Amino acid sequence: MKKSMFFLFSVSYLFALFSCQTSKEENKIVGDIKLLVVDSLQVDHLGKLNMIDLKEDHSEFLLYDGLSHDFLRVDRSGNILQQINRTGDGKDNYQSKYFMTAQYLENGDILIETYGMQFIYNGNFELKEKRQTPFSPIIGRMLGSTVNLPIGESMFSFTFHTGDSRDEFSESHAVDYPVLTSYKIDDFSVIARGKFPRESQMVLNPGTYNFDNPLAVYHNDELFLNFISSPEIYVYEFPGLVLKRVINLQPGENYKQNAPGDGKENFERFFNILSSSTFGGFNFSNDYLITWYNGAAPKDEVDALPRNVVGGPEFLALAKKYDKTYYHVFDGDKKLWEGQKDLKLSSCRNLIFNKLKEGETEDEVEKDSETFYFYEVNID
């Protein structure tokens, strides 16, 4: 009997040992991670280029120069396929100096959205159609917001439906309003609508938050959303917008929760931004989930600032002192690592990138072209 028990114990031990050795190395907490440059896009252009969108196969990138207001279509070798300005009232223009979103559609067309209007161009920026939209995207910034995400023939958007009552939306701070929307791109027919998840800070502590639209990534046939003032990622079936699971990011002590304001336009919201954290992006790399958030200045130091001015020397010095980016890396829903890196990544579609290398500053090197560096997560 003792031999049998010993045999069973030995088999169990060997099985467990084998499982541990053959499981992914990331199933244990790691000491550090590396953000490696694996490719780059060098464009013979000087201005202020922003990555607006890209095709899923990385065969073409849509860039926007914030100085000249030009769109640039660039191939994967960095060759400029087209540089064109579509602002203003011209025949093929989008009749505004500003746009909210610009994205490639599945068929190669380019969709640009302004307030109340959508402009659909072919791949050479020739206008095919302009149409009024029944949706009003909720955004915190212009010129490339991620409020829309085309997925096949459907669109995910964070919107107010113009036919609905604005009182219902504003009085509840959007908590009781279906802000999440999926619709058919061709005719705007609604597929599904949903409210803020009940676990989110916006529901638990309603009020006015300093947040942009949710960050959205479509990965392995699932829609991942992060509301940047709430430390979770919500995973949805798309286009039905059925919530499947929640990934609790469990940020460490460097994360300071953003408290809701009263909605009044005053300086206090700027001090609140300074003393709280928001998430800046997330994506997938080598089967890992990576997310990042900004650090926050201690509240006592923020409270000591003069309250009658925003953007003064003391304010800017404090903002610079605590301008740090902290990263999480997950294997599934298990956090492997959290820490600070001297790099602030950006994310678009299935790409993680930055115009700087880790530790590099913008004014460190004089350049005669603009380069986007593509990053991957590496765990030894």
pLDDT greater than 60 at residue 196? yes
pLDDT digits (tens, 9 = 90+) for 43-86: 999 999 999 999 999 999 999 999 999 999 999 999 999 999 99
pLDDT for 21: 40
Contact of 270 with 301, CB cutoff 8 Å:
no
Tokens of 281: 């992006």
Read off the pLDDT band of 29 (50, 70, 90).
confident
For residues 41-70, one letter each, b for 16 or more C-beta atoms within 10 angstroms of the residue's C-beta and e for the rest, the string is: bebebebebbbbbbeeeeebbbbbbeeebb
pLDDT for 260: 84
Three-state secondary structure of 321-343? HCCCEEEEEEECCEEEEEEEECC
- What is the pLDDT of the chain when averaged over all its residues? 88
pLDDT greater than 80 at residue 22? no
Query: What one-character-per-residue DSSP string does 230-293 give?
Result: SSEEEEEETTTTEEEEEEE----TT--PPPPB-S--STHHHHHHHTS--EEEEEEETTEEEEEE
Provide mean pLDDT across the span 180-205: 96
The three-state secondary structure class of 227 is coil
Higher pLDDT, 208 or 201: 201
pLDDT greater than 90 at residue 192? yes
Q: How far apart are CA 102 and CA 149, in angstroms?
A: 10
Least confident residue range of 100-104, 164-168, 246-250, 339-343: 164-168
pLDDT digits (tens, 9 = 90+) for 302-338: 999 998 888 889 999 999 999 999 999 999 989 999 9
Read off the pLDDT band of 268 (50, 70, 90).
confident
pLDDT for 8: 37
Q: How far apart are CA 209 and CA 119, in angstroms?
A: 31
pLDDT greater than 70 at residue 18? no
Of 263, 274, 261, 267, nearest to 309 by C-alpha is 267
Q: How far apart are CA 223 and CA 182, in angstroms?
A: 11
If you search the block for the tokens 């949710």, which residue do you land on? 214
pLDDT greater than 50 at residue 116? yes
Contact of 135 with 193, CB cutoff 8 Å:
no
pLDDT greater than 50 at residue 12? no
Higher pLDDT, 115 or 261: 115
pLDDT for 26: 37
Higher pLDDT, 1 or 44: 44
Of 200, 180, 181, nearest to 190 by C-alpha is 181
Question: What is this structure's pTM?
Answer: 0.89
